[in-house]
Homo-oligomer: A and B are copies of this chain.
Amino acid sequence: MSTDLPRKPRVGHIRFLNCLPLLWGLSRTAGLLDLDLSCDTPERLGNALVAGELDLGPISLVEYLRHADELVVLPDLAVGSDGPVLSCLIVSKVPLDRLEGEVVSLCTTSRTSTRLARLILAERVGVNPVYRDRAPELATMLDQASAAVIIGDPALRATVEASRTTGLAVHDLGQLWREWTGLPFVFALFAVRRDYLRRHPERVRQVHAALLAARDLGLAEVDRVCEHAAQWGPFDEPILKRYFTEALDYGFGDRQLRGVAEFARRVAKADGGFPTGIRLETLHTTEQF
């Protein structure tokens, strides 16, 4: 009998639809049982990872860029898009170029999409709205505001319902970024705390492999994932399949890295918010920008 009982790695999981294929795969491979999993919003998971309450997990891009020196990125895995993402939106009552001086609500569950929206409105559209933070409920966000930046399942619902909703224009942040830069956008990447990696390199390698295997199985069995999600949520199987297989990009390679570097440069030029000269270190490589 062993007496040296290892502690399971404390891993975050985004409890939005976008990460359901990952959870499905983690379940089906039984990798789930090897993790001490915390399911929460990207914002709270990022805080927990930075605070050392989690060892490894997803972190929104902006939060990662603020804490890149404490974190090492897991390659080949992210939540991003290379075009429309469907679930990160500016929902607007007026054309975007009419938002000068208007109130725009930013949902409190997002840091990256709200920063991306502000960047696009300022630098691409050329308007300076008045921003205010609001809980992610679209009707409330649009009360006494001209537009709202919203992410996750309520945003996907807005995309689906856009054709039926009069007077509201839905602007997809993944699409706006792609049209502006020609690059994919990474909304959240997966990172491990540098101190945890130093103490448990083999365990990190195992969890990384388990996450990749889970992602791959979740996408291979995407029809079953959609059937499951349609049973318990508001979306039907065709929109779910489009979301998982066409909109979302779960990879993190060279093009995604260029998207991250481009975003970091543009935000740094605009108003900083995180250091320049960021060293993005993955398990295999290091990139500076």
A265 and B29 alpha carbons, distance in the complex (Å): 45
**Residues of chain A in range 71-125 having any CB-CB distance to chain B below 8 Å:** none
Copies in the complex: 2
Report yes or no: B160 in contact with A30, Cβ–Cβ below 8 A. Answer: no
Which one of A2-10, A187-195, A266-274 is at the B interface? A2-10
Is A1 in contact with chain B by the CB < 8 A criterion?
Answer: yes
Is A233 in contact with chain B by the CB < 8 A criterion?
Answer: yes
Q: A30-B24, A33-B24, A33-B27 are in contact. Are A8 and B236 (CB under 8 A)?
A: no
Residues of B with C-beta under 8 A to A234: 1-3, 5
Is A131 in contact with chain B by the CB < 8 A criterion?
Answer: no
Chain B min CB distance to A235 (Å): 6
**CB-CB nearest in chain B for A20:** B33
**CB-CB nearest in chain B for A157:** B1
Report yes or no: A235 in contact with B1, Cβ–Cβ below 8 A. Answer: yes
Report yes or no: B224 in contact with A30, Cβ–Cβ below 8 A. Answer: yes
Residues of B with C-beta under 8 A to A235: 1
A121 and B106 alpha carbons, distance in the complex (Å): 67
The answer, among B33, B231, B233, for a CB contact under 8 Å with A228, is B33
Q: A2-39, CB under 8 A of B: which get 1 and which 0?
A: 11011010000000000000011001111011100000
Chain B min CB distance to A13 (Å): 12
Is A232 in contact with chain B by the CB < 8 A criterion?
Answer: yes
Q: With contacts A23-B33, A27-B27, A27-B30 known, what are 15 further pairs, Cβ within 8 A?
A: A1-B160, A1-B236, A3-B234, A5-B232, A5-B233, A6-B231, A6-B232, A24-B30, A27-B32, A28-B30, A30-B224, A30-B228, A32-B32, A33-B228, A34-B232
A-B contact pairs, 19 of them (CB 8 A): A1-B234, A1-B239, A2-B230, A2-B236, A3-B234, A5-B234, A6-B231, A6-B232, A23-B33, A24-B30, A24-B33, A27-B28, A28-B28, A28-B29, A30-B228, A32-B32, A33-B228, A34-B228, A34-B232
A contacts, CB < 8 Å to B = 1-3, 5-6, 8, 23-24, 27-30, 32-34, 160, 224, 228, 230-236, 239
